[in-house]
Structure 1
Amino acid sequence: MYNYSASYGDRYEHKKAQSNLNGFRQSNERFKQFYLNPDYETYIIEYTGDILKAFESISYAAITVTGPVFALVALPKGELNTLLQDIPQIIYVEGSFPFSLSPYKVVNTNDYYNFMDGTNSALNGEGIVVGIIDTGIDYLNPRFMTRDGNTRIISIWDQTLQQGTSPKSIAYGTEFSKEDIDLAIKAKNTGKNPYDIVAHRPENEHGTAMAGIIGGRRLSDKDFFTSAAPNCEFAVVKLKKAKESTLEQTGVDKEGVDVYESADIRMALLYLSELQAKTNKPMVIYTPFGSNVGGHDGGGPIERYVDSLTQRRGLEAVENTGEEALANTHTSGMFSSTGEERIIEVSVDPRQKNLYVSIWMRRPDRVSMGINPPIGNGTGRIPSIFKEGEEVRIQIGESIATIKYYVSFINGDQYVGILIRNAYSGIWKITVYGDYIVNGRFDAWLFQRDLLYEDTRFLINDPFITLRLPSTATSMLTASYFDSETKTPVPIAGRGFTRDGRIKPDVCVGGTNILTTGLNGADIVISGAGAAGAIICGAVALIMQWGLVLGNDKNLFTSKIRTYLITSVTEMEGITYPNPQSGYGMLSFKKLFETLDVL
């Protein structure tokens, strides 16, 4: 029996948050119909006052509250401005943006890196729940079972299945309990179909591989398999694919790529946070996906949502930096004075139908834009004098450019969103006019590389500030990765720091040639950012076991966990730390166990 329990303050805050959510439960079915409708758009909002009462008279939109100031709304295309006029309690609105899975590749080798440094510690993750938001898990894999054949998965929420019972506080998907999964395992062992009981199947091996690194179990004493927390439990969310309306709204048009969306990710975070409070067990959530959409400064809704959830003791979140450093999806520039002009050049692949560019300035700087296509006439200067968030549409030959100017209500920074539909192939030039310059720096991002065709890129690449959201959240524990054999950074790994100058990544870890498990129980060796984040997630699970479950640090919050990680790194001679590629250094599990005094 372990002695972790939430403090009175933790329980009070959860109870208060739950009371704010109770009002929307009776309208779950309506929200489900609206939200899953492919012709309806989804928006993330922040609000003040009694938002549920404000929506009582609205028939064309549905809402679900995800926190004291956050909610999701679903409504028909083209009705957003009407909603904003009808509901003045909405103070901020953002579309549901595209996310993609953390990259990794399967390596054809029998040699793999033992990231546990050959250590033998009493820490094994027991008493800790690892939440994984991904493509699902192979729950029939014995590496996720106890020695007696029972599952270590306490819950699966499959967003793609709509015929079963949804979680109580969430409108869609199907939830499976530990008891359901154990019954399915017994059915398989007796020759019956387990999927008649638990219909969940992983979309691919991604989620299973991440879970294997974090907490896969050895099957015998002769088994060479290694994971960080082999006795942990799992709570799994399988994300559904982004709706067609979301892809259309954001301009994502690349074929053959899996795209997910921020609205579903927020609901997954809500589900896991509520499950953590319900079970009263410490939980670390791994979020192996990312997006380039946002200011990379921790100020976006999904980043602040992560921060709000992890204020509660016993709930942490881990992310990796992605692999955008050499992807030509980030560029930057400097003004020296007001009145200057700078040009951003973007190559558009012939297969690319749409182009999205976001440009960010630091307050109090203000800029305006002009757009010049590869052929024909440009727009000239488009002044930023119209209403905040109002969009301007301009015909450029056969292309249509939509430009929106914003000022962040979090930090006052200006940002500009440019979406060019039916974009000509070739070199587009975006002129940035320095209307008022004090700081001078600007940053621009395209979508993450896997959502773009090969030749869609900035002509000038800036490899820094290429860590993907939500790794930039203040409370997110963030990992980059290095080559396991050479102990040097991998050039493609996403780099910090954040746009507002915070040190990210926190640490790095060997992320090449990592042994894990795939579908149907097969062992595989993988390399990539996703593997590195999974290793750090396992390390955080061990710190939480040591501190909260075993009682060595009852006052364990994110800042302390970050400190334990940082004090457990090795530094390469001649390299200055912290740095944007490896943070404070390379995590050593041996040093971590020495720090925690468990060897």
Structure 2
Amino acid sequence: MDSQKLENLLNLALNASMQEREKSLDLDVGYDAETNVWELIVKYNGDLARLNNPIIGVEELIAGYAIVTIPQSLIQSLVELEEIEYVEMPKRLFFHLQQGKEASCILPVTVREPYLTGRDTLVAVIDSGIDYERMDFRRADGSSRIAYLWDQALQPDESRGFYPPEGFLTGVEFNNMQINEALAESSPEERFRMLPSIDTSGHGTSVAAIAAGNGLSSDGRYVGVAPESELIIVKLGVPQQLSFPRTTELMRALTYVVQKSVELAKPISINLSFGNTYGAHDGTSLIERFMDNVSEIGRSVICVGSGNEGAAGGHTAGIVSGETRVELAVAPYERALNVQLWKEYADIFRITLISPGGEQQIVETARTGTIRLRMEQTEVLIYIGEPSPYSINQEIYFDFLPQQTYINSGVWTFMLQPVKIVTGNFYFYLPSSVVLNSATRFYSPTPEITFTIPSTSQKVITVGAYSSIYDAYADFSGRGILLENSLEAGVASGWVKPDIVAPGVDISISNGMGGTQFVTGTSFATPFVTGSAALMMEWGIVRGNDPYLYGEKVKAYLRRGARPLRGEAIYPNPRVGYGALCLSQSLPL
């Protein structure tokens, strides 16, 4: 089936065979092959309650968004409903893995007047979970500072008192009383029986320790930025073994934490240290627009890492004026690969795909829909898309699938020839470098516009990384684009990304066993800003200095107080935005 109410990738997935979906990196995300059921993101108007039945599940979120679980055979009927405006499939999310308080000017406002600690604020960490037993997340009396912990990966069990949060269908929610009851048990086995939530990767625990840990360094100072804030933790659900969380889990989590903030009547700073590369990077996808809506609920700030794709070679861009060749090196043993080509719909290119062995196939772009090509030992599944109601951009999506075990390695060439050119701008993206061989990359990569989604949402604070040792930009950090260059570069949205950068190279944190470990990546730059936002809201809202210090106002203050970095002459710029986090200069003390 093909419908303009469905995003291009979902149209292609529904047109693909079961075998093609299984081989693809993206076409099976949100699909359960055993039940033939999809989990979909829906933008709607009116009321979807009438759809809720034993066959179709509806979780209404906020601002006209919902997650619908529906058999594939009923999707056609779903999109025919007048209430349904647009539907997308979920996308996988990848954590951004690759001494900061002093460099970020946090100590001047925490160790002396006004002695900010994050008291009566909330810090939400939506990640891989938390080691709730760690002393970093407890008060002096040993009780937990975690107000709520929602583990989306656990199964509800009424006999054990395990229930999902009100209004949600998945996972198990634990409140502060339940967490303290588990901590009171002397036996690790009994604690686990009462609260079986584990951070198996340690990623979420590390992020939480930077943003809000209250462990002490050797000189007696707190290691975390907002050590007296309360925590709301969401462990993102992982739908399948060896898989990654999805954007649907993120949308549930964001709805949950902002609702808790309103319920508790406390300002909240939310940390997201993950993303993906799928999309036009212009803020127009449902997840990006959803996050802009979430940011307007209550008194909140959302901080998102810009990703680690800056030097990964997974993006290239240019202008088609004559024949243009884009070469992609595919390493041996790649089981699957996809390539997104984004361009303005007004431009028309003739595309010729050339395989490593020299075989050439013309990709007919005059009509939208699915195309299948067989080139050497690789099947190429192509979808020629149309603009969505929210974007002027057109996507041409290439999914490379092996006929046997691996796709053909070597140089794949996309030859672009102008037919009708207005701007001629084009943008190619590969999947996240986390799932590819490091040698799979474009021969002439473009480092600009390499931030990951959802850091592209307009109203979030997008955080890049720099090295506090060299006081210089870290080249892995996802880059954005300058406001004054946005039209020239063909980007319709005119905002600067990233907003600021924070320390993200060799950050020393506790390992929970009396030692330290070093972590690198925008994952760990982001919580410096998250914790700083909590301190700013404590100063403004909790202490009554500025009851409107949340949302875009926090971003504006952080931009204004940012300090310059070595090697950066013009601000804002695509690498570091307005500069490096400097909290003491961002507060109007």
Compute the displacement of 1:373 (Å).
2.0
Matches within 5 A, 1:530-541: 530-541=523-534
Percent of residue pairs bearing the same amino acid type: 27
Change (3 A) 1:192 1:101: closer
CA offset digits 1:3-26 (Å, max 9, x no partner): xxxxxxxxxxxxxxxxxxxxxxxx
- The worse-fitting range, judged by mean Cα deviation, of 361-370 and 409-418 is 361-370
SS state of the match for residue 535, structure 2?
A: helix
Counterpart position of 1:179: 177
Contact 1:215 1:538 in 2 (8 A): yes
Counterpart position of 2:5: none
AA aligned to 2:215 is R
Contact 2:236 2:250 in 1 (8 A): yes
User: How far apart, CA to CA, are the structure 1 residues paired with 2:344 and 2:365?
Assistant: 18
Indicate yes or no: 2:44 matched with 1:62: no
Matches within 5 A, 1:187-226: 187-188=185-186, 193-219=190-216, 222-226=219-223
Compute the displacement of 1:221 (Å).
8.6
Compute the displacement of 1:368 (Å).
5.4
Contact 1:352 1:452 in 2 (8 A): yes
SS state of the match for residue 546, structure 2?
A: coil
User: How far apart, CA to CA, are the structure 1 residues paired with 2:225 and 2:142?
Assistant: 20
Q: State the aligned residue count.
A: 535
Compute the displacement of 1:185 (Å).
0.9
SS state of the match for residue 93, structure 2?
A: strand
SS state of the match for residue 575, structure 1?
A: coil
- The worse-fitting range, judged by mean Cα deviation, of 277-286 and 134-143 is 277-286
Counterpart position of 1:102: 96
Counterpart position of 2:292: 307
Contact 1:483 1:510 in 2 (8 A): yes
Change (3 A) 1:218 1:528: same
Contact 2:376 2:408 in 1 (8 A): no
User: How far apart, CA to CA, are the structure 2 residues paired with 1:539 and 1:347?
Assistant: 42
Structure 1 residues not aligned, in runs of 5+: 1-32, 105-110, 245-256
User: How far apart, CA to CA, are the structure 1 residues paired with 2:196 and 2:348?
Assistant: 53
Contact 2:41 2:90 in 1 (8 A): yes
Counterpart position of 1:413: 393
Counterpart position of 1:347: 329
Change (3 A) 1:395 1:419: same
User: How far apart, CA to CA, are the structure 1 residues paired with 2:428 and 2:56?
Assistant: 33
Change (3 A) 1:86 1:398: farther
AA aligned to 1:393 is R
Counterpart position of 2:457: 473
Counterpart position of 1:114: 102
Aligned match for 1:150, one of 130, 143, 148: 143
TM-score by length of 2: 0.85
Counterpart position of 1:579: 573
User: How far apart, CA to CA, are the structure 2 residues paired with 1:295 and 1:582?
Assistant: 21
Contact 2:331 2:437 in 1 (8 A): yes
AA aligned to 2:335 is K
Counterpart position of 1:545: 538
SS state of the match for residue 263, structure 2?
A: helix
User: How far apart, CA to CA, are the structure 2 residues paired with 1:299 and 1:579?
Assistant: 22
Compute the displacement of 1:60 (Å).
5.4
Counterpart position of 2:372: 393
User: How far apart, CA to CA, are the structure 1 residues paired with 2:265 and 2:259?
Assistant: 10
Structure 2 residues not aligned, in runs of 5+: 1-29, 483-490
SS state of the match for residue 226, structure 1?
A: coil
CA offset digits 1:364-415 (Å, max 9, x no partner): 33445442222363331312323xxx33333334422222213132132212
Compute the displacement of 1:100 (Å).
0.5
Contact 1:570 1:586 in 2 (8 A): yes
Indicate yes or no: 2:43 matched with 1:46: yes
CA offset digits 1:473-519 (Å, max 9, x no partner): 01110111211111111112111128434211111122223232334
Contact 1:99 1:261 in 2 (8 A): yes
Change (3 A) 1:175 1:507: same
Change (3 A) 1:229 1:454: same
Aligned match for 2:362, one of 364, 369, 380: 380
Indicate yes or no: 2:342 matched with 1:357: no
TM-score by length of 1: 0.83
Matches within 5 A, 1:430-445: 430-445=414-429
- The worse-fitting range, judged by mean Cα deviation, of 156-165 and 341-350 is 341-350
Change (3 A) 1:363 1:327: same
Contact 2:312 2:476 in 1 (8 A): yes
Compute the displacement of 1:471 (Å).
0.8
User: How far apart, CA to CA, are the structure 2 residues paired with 1:34 and 1:347?
Assistant: 30
Q: CA RMSD in A?
A: 2.6
Contact 1:102 1:290 in 2 (8 A): yes
SS state of the match for residue 386, structure 2?
A: strand
SS state of the match for residue 380, structure 1?
A: strand
Counterpart position of 2:76: 82
Contact 2:318 2:425 in 1 (8 A): yes
Contact 2:562 2:582 in 1 (8 A): yes
Aligned match for 2:470, one of 473, 480, 486: 486
Change (3 A) 1:401 1:81: farther
AA aligned to 1:218 is G
